[in-house]
Copies of this chain bind each other. A is one copy, B any other.
Amino acid sequence: MSANMADPINLTEKLSLFEGHWRPHVVGAFNGHDLMVVKVQGQFPWHKHDDTDDFFLVLKGQVIIRLRERDVALKAGEIFVVPKGVEHAPFAAEEAHILLIEPKGTPNTGDPATAAPRREL
């Protein structure tokens, strides 16, 4: 993260710097994890992470975290942690903004072959 590491991370400002959905942008680091912002809309593929929990904080809009047995509906100001190994498929009817926290290098699809690259902001 170089020079920006020491500055406050303004999430709204970071989200204003890019467009596109399901493209995680790294805005900081914490204990070996990437702090990422992402814009989402539509359905993301079903996947799971065998080695890590998945942290979601909705910053704007509404997101549904689909689990195999139920849906978890989240609005701005709400967190949901998908436990490691649990299949999930995030969905948003309209564009929503999320703070994600995952260990560095975690493929967003659960599979390095199909994962979106993480860009740094």
Contacts and interface: CB of A to CB of B under 8 A. Distances in A.
Interface of A: 5-12, 27-31, 33, 35, 52-53, 55, 57, 59, 72-74, 77-81, 83, 99, 101, 103
Copies in the complex: 2
A52 B31 CA distance: 6
21 contacts: A5-B83, A7-B72, A8-B72, A8-B78, A8-B79, A9-B80, A9-B81, A10-B78, A11-B77, A27-B79, A29-B53, A29-B81, A30-B53, A30-B101, A31-B33, A31-B52, A31-B55, A31-B103, A35-B81, A57-B99, A59-B77
A53 to B, nearest CB: 5
Contacts of A101: 30, 101
